[in-house]
């Protein structure tokens, strides 16, 4: 049972493996974004920015009309001024003053009554001119608005002064009328005392009303005087320029270094995301774990790394001869050992090699595996059962015009059709022969099975080079004849789905599946590093890109087999069921 720590380590390991495997996606994304950033900066014209600081002043009309209250919230007033600066009225006036429309950025200067105007241009002098023109034009627009506001307010205040003066003039009228009546009455008149008392009461009331009206008249007269003075002194529009713009000496953009760093960071994050998305949708097999998860309950008995000595995939290549000390050659010897150990439990003399699709390296694997057995002192026969696209005779350097079909059709005897391969004295070849019109029907004949089985009487191991199982049924037909079936998958080529389907088809016909082999694995995903550590393998130093290409490095002539490696010592040779 796995602990939480183990699970975490596995997950982190898988993530790191995705990053290692998809590093080209990450690097490519970074290079593209950084390159585009630098290209854009190189093509962009320099931009200079100049700033003008302005101080806002409260409107006199507001203080005149509401002198004892806070007119408005400072922040709200500042936001209103920012809206006015960006209004169409101001922009039209600026365009007339400057000669063409210009844009500025108006921001709060850190205080409630300070505004900063930022203008950008291709030269520092032009940027400063734009900022100053915009500020002065805004002053003019604001001055017109303030003068209009003062005029309106002055009209209101003048009306108040006139109203108070009229009120004062009317206050004395009842008292004057009462005085006239008293003057006409003799002091001895009984009504005189009552009139006099009424006159005194009215006098007290009139004095109070006159004092109140006079105070209002005085107040509004003073306000009117202030408005008149403000109107004469209004020259800045309530805006004071604290710091006029000056021409900057250095541009604010482009900034290649900063933009490149930002693109690098964005590229890394985007590249990692793309790498994981690409990996999530990638159905191809890459590692042993991928293959074993796809086929389930079928062990992987070998992994063959990319061979740096094979450049041209169209030419047959035998790593066990061309590069006998390479990791690829060692992997074939390791596969030979795995088969020999499996032969201790059941007969393993007749083995077919197949895959799910074409071009996955079946013939290459079979040829190198046959050589590994031959170098171990075993007598090996390889049979070309791919009657549709035969290539075995090219690897074994024999005549492909005679072979298996010649024997089945009775044109030649088995002894006449079997050829000795020049690449090793222990290898005999029964090539495919002439191409028949009906390969599946020919392979399903009892005579075909009898011919194949008869080879095990003379040879230690017989390998059948079979076509893939998904396109044709030939390998399924031969499954009833063989002792073991090896299923081959190619890294970064075979998909999980096709590998799973291929194995399922073999299981449906009860094929004696021995295991799977993963071909074309990156060297760091195999055991090559261990072989190199112990000095068993001399590995070529490939460029980094070679890990992602199937064919790279020096071209070794395939036909040059003059210097064959010596067979391993007898102690290294594993016993195998021999039917000789």
**66 vs 6, higher pLDDT:** 66
Nearest to 519 by CA among 326, 362, 320, 324: 362
71 vs 69: CA distance, rounded Å:
6
Q: Among 71-85, 241-255, 294-308, 335-349, where is mean pLDDT lowest?
A: 71-85
What tens digit of pLDDT does each residue of 539-564 get? Answer: 444 333 333 333 333 333 333 333 33
The pair of three-digit structure tokens given for residue 384, joined into one six-digit string: 């070309």
Q: How confident is the model at residue 65 (pLDDT cuts 50, 70, 90)?
A: low
Quick check: helix, strand or coil at residue 40?
A: helix
Q: Are 549 and 523 in contact (CB under 8 A)?
A: no
Quick check: helix, strand or coil at residue 383?
A: strand
Q: Does pLDDT of 449 surpass 80?
A: yes
**52 vs 216, higher pLDDT:** 52
Provide the pLDDT for residue 153.
78
Provide the pLDDT for residue 292.
87
Q: How confident is the model at residue 239 (pLDDT cuts 50, 70, 90)?
A: confident
Q: Strands (DSSP E) along 126-228, which ranges?
A: none
Provide the pLDDT for residue 538.
46
Q: Looking at residues 491-504, what average pLDDT do you find?
A: 90
Q: Looking at residues 109-133, what average pLDDT do you find?
A: 88
Quick check: helix, strand or coil at residue 368?
A: helix
Q: Looking at residues 420-424, what average pLDDT do you find?
A: 95
Strands 239-243 and 48-56: antiparallel
Q: Strands (DSSP E) along 356-450, which ranges?
A: 380-384, 419-420, 427-430
Q: Among 191-200, 221-230, 568-577, where is mean pLDDT lowest?
A: 568-577
Q: Does pLDDT of 35 surpass 50?
A: yes
Q: Does pLDDT of 580 surpass 50?
A: no
Residue 507 burial class via C-beta count within 10 angstroms: exposed 0-12, middle 13-18, buried 19 and up: middle
Nearest to 317 by CA among 411, 391, 388, 249: 391
**83 vs 164, higher pLDDT:** 83
482 vs 261: CA distance, rounded Å:
62
281: left (phi over 0), alpha (psi -120 to 50) or beta: alpha
Provide the pLDDT for residue 537.
47
**240 vs 577, higher pLDDT:** 240
**579 vs 449, higher pLDDT:** 449
For residue 442, say if its preceding peptide bond is cis, omega within 30 degrees of 0: no
Q: Among 134-143, 178-187, 256-265, 408-417, where is mean pLDDT lowest?
A: 178-187
288-553: CATH class: alpha beta
Q: How confident is the model at residue 50 (pLDDT cuts 50, 70, 90)?
A: very high
What tens digit of pLDDT does each residue of 162-221 get? Answer: 887 787 777 777 777 777 777 777 766 777 777 777 777 777 787 777 777 778 778 878
Q: Does pLDDT of 577 surpass 50?
A: no
Instruction: Report the share of the chain in percent with pLDDT over 90.
Output: 41
Residue 19 burial class via C-beta count within 10 angstroms: exposed 0-12, middle 13-18, buried 19 and up: middle
| CATH 3.30.70.1130 domain residues, the chain | 48-243
Q: Looking at residues 312-333, what average pLDDT do you find?
A: 84
Residue 486 burial class via C-beta count within 10 angstroms: exposed 0-12, middle 13-18, buried 19 and up: buried
Q: Are 350 and 452 in contact (CB under 8 A)?
A: yes
Provide the pLDDT for residue 19.
85
Quick check: helix, strand or coil at residue 382?
A: strand
| Average pLDDT, rounded, for the chain | 80
Q: Does pLDDT of 565 surpass 50?
A: no
Q: Does pLDDT of 61 surpass 60?
A: no
Provide the pLDDT for residue 236.
56
Quick check: helix, strand or coil at residue 486?
A: strand
Q: Among 198-202, 450-454, 509-513, where is mean pLDDT lowest?
A: 198-202
| CATH 3.40.50.300 domain residues, the chain | 288-553
**502 vs 568, higher pLDDT:** 502
297: left (phi over 0), alpha (psi -120 to 50) or beta: left
Provide the pLDDT for residue 309.
63
**409 vs 550, higher pLDDT:** 409
Provide the pLDDT for residue 533.
41
> CB neighbours (10 Å) of residue 536?
13
291 vs 237: CA distance, rounded Å:
80
Provide the pLDDT for residue 237.
55
Q: Among 56-60, 102-106, 111-115, where is mean pLDDT lowest?
A: 56-60
Q: Does pLDDT of 21 surpass 60?
A: yes
Nearest to 453 by CA among 547, 367, 346, 579: 579
Architecture of domain 48-243: 2-Layer Sandwich (3.30)
Q: How confident is the model at residue 270 (pLDDT cuts 50, 70, 90)?
A: very high
**185 vs 391, higher pLDDT:** 391
Provide the pLDDT for residue 4.
39
Report residue 120: phi and psi, to 5°.
Answer: -125, 140
Q: Does pLDDT of 489 surpass 90?
A: yes
Total residue count of the chain as it appears in this document: 580
231 vs 234: CA distance, rounded Å:
5
């Amino acid at each position: 049972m796995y602990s939480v720590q183990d699970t975490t380590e596995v997950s982190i390991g898988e993530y790191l493996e995705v990053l290692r495997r998809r590093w080209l996606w990450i690097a490519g994304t970074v290079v593209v974004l950084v390159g585009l950033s630098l290209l854009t900066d190189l093509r962009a014209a320099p931009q200079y920015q100049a700033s003008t600081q302005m101080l806002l002043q409260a409107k006199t009309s507001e203080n005149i009309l509401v002198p004892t209250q806070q007119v408005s919230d400072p922040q709200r007033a500042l936001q209103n001024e920012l809206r006015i600066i960006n209004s169409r009225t101001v922009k039209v006036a600026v365009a007339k003053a400057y000669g063409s429309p210009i844009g500025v950025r108006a921001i709060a200067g850190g205080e409630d009554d300070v505004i900063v105007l930022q203008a950008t241009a291709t030269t520092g002098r032009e940027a400063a001119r734009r900022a100053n023109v915009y500020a002065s034009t805004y002053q003019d627009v604001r001055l017109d608005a303030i003068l209009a506001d003062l005029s309106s307010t002055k009209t209101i205040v003048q009306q108040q002064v006139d109203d108070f003066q009229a009120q004062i003039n009317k206050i004395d009228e009842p008292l004057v009328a009462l005085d006239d009546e008293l003057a006409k009455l003799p002091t001895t008149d009984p009504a005189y005392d009552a009139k006099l008392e009424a006159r005194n009461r009215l006098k007290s009331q009139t004095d109070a009303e006159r004092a109140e009206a006079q105070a209002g008249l005085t107040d509004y007269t003073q306000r009117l005087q202030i408005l008149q003075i403000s109107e004469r002194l209004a020259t800045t529009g309530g805006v004071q320029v604290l710091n006029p713009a000056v021409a900057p000496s250095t541009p604010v953009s482009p900034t290649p270094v900063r933009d490149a760093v930002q693109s690098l960071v964005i590229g890394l994050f985007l590249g990692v995301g793309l790498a994981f998305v690409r990996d999530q949708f990638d159905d191809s097999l890459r590692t042993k774990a991928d293959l074993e998860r796809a086929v389930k309950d079928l062990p992987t008995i070998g992994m063959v790394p990319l061979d740096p000595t094979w450049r041209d995939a169209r030419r047959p290549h035998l790593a066990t001869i061309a590069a006998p000390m390479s990791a690829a050659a060692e992997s074939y010897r390791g596969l030979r050992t795995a088969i020999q150990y499996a032969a201790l439990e059941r007969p393993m003399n007749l083995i077919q090699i197949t895959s799910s699709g074409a071009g996955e390296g079946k013939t290459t694997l079979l040829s190198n595996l046959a050589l590994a057995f031959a170098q171990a002192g075993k007598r090996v026969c390889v049979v070309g059962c791919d009657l549709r696209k035969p290539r075995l005779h090219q690897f074994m350097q024999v005549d492909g015009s005679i072979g298996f079909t010649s024997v089945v059709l009775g044109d030649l005897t088995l002894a006449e059709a079997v050829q000795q391969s020049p690449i090793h004295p222990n290898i005999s070849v029964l090539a495919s022969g002439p191409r028949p019109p009906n390969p599946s029907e020919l392979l399903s004949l009892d005579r075909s099975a009898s011919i194949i089985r008869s080879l095990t009487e003379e040879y230690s191991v017989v390998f059948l080079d079979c076509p893939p199982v998904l396109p044709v049924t030939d390998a399924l037909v031969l499954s009833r004849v063989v002792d073991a079936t090896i299923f081959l998958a190619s890294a970064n080529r075979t998909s999980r789905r096709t590998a799973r389907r291929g194995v399922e088809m073999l299981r449906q016909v009860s094929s004696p599946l021995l295991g799977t082999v993963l071909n074309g694995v990156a060297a760091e995903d195999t055991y090559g590093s261990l072989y190199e550590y112990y000095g068993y393998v001399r590995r070529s130093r490939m460029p980094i890109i070679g890990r992602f290409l199937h064919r790279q490095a020096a071209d070794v002539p395939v036909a040059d087999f003059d210097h064959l490696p010596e067979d391993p010592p007898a102690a290294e040779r594993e016993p195998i069921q021999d039917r000789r």
